[in-house]
Amino acid sequence: MGEFELYFKLGLEHIADIKAYDHMVFLLALCALYQLKSWKKVAVLATAFTIGHSLTLALTALDMISISPDLVETLIPITIIITALSNIIKPDENLQSATFSKFMWKYYAIAMIFGLIHGMGFSTYFASLLGQEENIVFPLFAFNVGIEAGQLIIVLGILILSYVVMDFLKMKQIQWIHFVSGLAAGIAATILIG
């Protein structure tokens, strides 16, 4: 096994690990507004999230910033709750943004900013992978590519589920958005309360 493959797999398995479900729940809240046909936007959104968390993961791994894990564990569910609530506030505006690209930059920016917080959540795990490794740039790159790949798989799954629910179970889009947002908010609240 090569070095890239090792860190790629570790990143992929970490994001897809059911025990690290806070990131999955965030993606669920983030994707709630979109339908399968706008998968390209969701891919960009997930990538913006990756750019955010890659940045803080790199800074933490290089010891340039250090934030208490407890604070991060608190902030992560807050990002989920904010995303979930913003989905159901002004639903018309949200849907419009999901339809028309010119409003999208705001959503990309938020995904990236929240990514900064989630990146710090990956750092404990990443640090234990590294051990005494000195050259961290390549492992970091491969690990992030793995996380991004895992995220794309998760968001694709969410979009397919939303397609099934809306097209076969005939749930209205607004209902789907509300249900999923409520679900995400509930899980985040449970994490927050502990």
Partner 1 sequence: MKVIIVVILTLIAQGSGIRDQVLEVSGVRYQVLEASGFGYQVSGVRYNVAGIDMDQTILSPFASGYLSSLQPFSLSLEPFAHDFHLSNVEIEYNAKAQSLQMIMHLFIDDLEDGIAQSGVDKKLYLCTEREVEGADQYIRDYISSKFSVSVDGQPMEYVFLGKETSEDIVAMDCYLEIENLNSVSEIEISNDLLMEVFDDQVNIIKLKSTLTGKKGFMMLKKGSHTDTVQL
> Which one among 125, 141, 145, 157 touches partner 1, defined by CB under 8 A?
125
> Which one among 68, 102, 106, 132 touches partner 1, defined by CB under 8 A?
132
Per CB under 8 A, does 9 bind partner 1? Answer: yes
Stretch that binds partner 1, among 15-23, 44-52, 54-62, 104-112 (CB under 8 A): 15-23
> Which one among 133, 137, 160, 167 touches partner 1, defined by CB under 8 A?
133
Long-range contacts of 58-62 (CB under 8 A, 24+ apart): 58/140, 60/119, 60/120, 60/123, 60/126, 60/127, 61/123, 61/126, 61/127, 61/130, 61/136, 61/140, 62/136
> Which one among 3, 71, 90, 109 touches partner 1, defined by CB under 8 A?
3
Q: What is the DSSP letter of 166?
A: I
Instruction: Scan residues 146-165 and list those touching partner 1 (CB under 8 A).
Output: 165
Per CB under 8 A, does 39 bind partner 1? Answer: no
Residues 6 or more apart whose Cβ sits within 8 Å of residue 122: 14, 53, 57, 147
**Per-position DSSP letters for 74-114, written without gaps between them:** HHHHHHHHHHHHHHHSSHHHHHHHHH-GGGHHHHHHHHHHH
| CA-closest candidate to residue 111, choices 189, 186, 33 | 33
Stretch that binds partner 1, among 13-21, 59-67, 101-109, 145-153 (CB under 8 A): 13-21
Sign of the alpha-carbon dihedral angle for 48, 52, 57, 62: positive
Per CB under 8 A, does 18 bind partner 1? Answer: yes
Stretch that binds partner 1, among 33-41, 109-117, 121-129, 145-153 (CB under 8 A): 121-129
Minimum CB distance to partner 1 smaller for 37 or for 134:
134
Q: For binding to partner 1 (CB under 8 A), which residues are involved?
A: 1-3, 5-6, 9-10, 13-14, 17-20, 22, 73, 88, 121, 124-125, 128-133, 165, 169-172, 174-176, 178-187, 189-191, 194
